[in-house]
Amino acid sequence: MARGARRLWGTGAYVVALVVTACWLAGQPAAERARFVRHNSSNVHHIDVGKWWTLFTSGLVVDGVPVVVGIGAVAAVLGCAEWRWGTARALGVFLYGHLAATLLTEGTLWVAHATRVLHVPTRARDVGISYGLVTTGACLLALAGGRLRRHALPLLAVALAVACAVDQALADAGHLISVGLGVLAAGTPWLRDRAAAHSGRVAAPRWR
C-alpha cells in the first residue's frame, strides 16, 4: 500500500482536491454554488477579459455526472496512467487534454465572437474533468495494443460521436477532440517508449 501511495501521489492529490471542492460546494447555498461555477468557467467572456486561470480552476469541479462517479473515474483512469507511465507523464497528458480541448472549443467560439462571424454565448457554463479524462483514457487505449486498441478505442469514438450528433453540445464536440488528442499523445516517443518499457515489449510504430 505504501508503494502504491508513492507511485500514485499525483492521482491522490488531484482526487483530494476534487473531493474537497465537491464537499465545500455541497455545503454552500445554491446561489453560492452557481456563483463559484460561473466565476470558474473557462468561457469566451473570461478568455476575452484575460482570466486565463479559469482554464485550470474549471478542472476542479465535477459537472455533468454524479460527483462520486466523476471522481471514481478520475481515480481509475488517471491512476492507471500514473502507474504505467509515471506521475509527470500521466498528469501531463491529463492537463494537456484539459487545456487543449478547452482552448480548441472555447477558443474557436472566442474567434467567432471577436470577428462577429457568429453570435455565440459568451458566459456559458464550462467546467468539468471530462476533457482530461477522455484524453487520458483514449491515450491508454491507444497504447494498450491488441483488442483494446482495435475495438475499445473505435467504440469510444463512435459513442462520443453519437452523443455529439444527438445533443449537439459544445462539450460533446470537446470530447471528440479529446479522443484525437489522446491518440496524438500516444504517438509521441515520450509516452510510446515508456509504455513499451512498462509492458516489456518493443515500442509500437509511430502513428502516421
pLDDT digits (tens, 9 = 90+) for 184-208: 999 898 887 776 666 655 444 444 3
Rounded Cα–Cα distance for residues 140 and 143 (Å): 5
C-alpha span between 128 and 146 (Å, rounded):
31
Q: CA 141, CA 182: separation in Å to the nearest integer? A: 9
pTM of the model: 0.88
Q: Does residue 126 contact residue 110 with C-beta atoms inside 8 Å?
A: no
Residue 205 φ then ψ, to 5°: -65, 155
Query: How many CB atoms lie under 10 A from the CB of residue 88?
Result: 12
Q: Residue 177: how many CB atoms within 10 A of its CB?
A: 22
What one-character DSSP code corresponds to residue 59?
G
Position 97 scores a pLDDT of: 97
Coil/strand/helix, residue 140? helix
Q: Which tens digit of pLDDT belongs to each residue from 36-90?
A: 999 999 999 998 898 999 999 999 999 988 999 999 999 999 999 999 999 999 9
- Grid cell digits, residue 88: 509527470
Each residue's pLDDT tens digit, 116-126: 877 888 888 88
Rounded alpha-carbon distances, angstroms, from residue 6 to 83, 85, 179: 10, 14, 29
Average pLDDT, the chain: 88
The pLDDT of residue 197: 65
Q: Which of 172, 134, 128, 164 is nearest to 152 (CA)?
A: 134
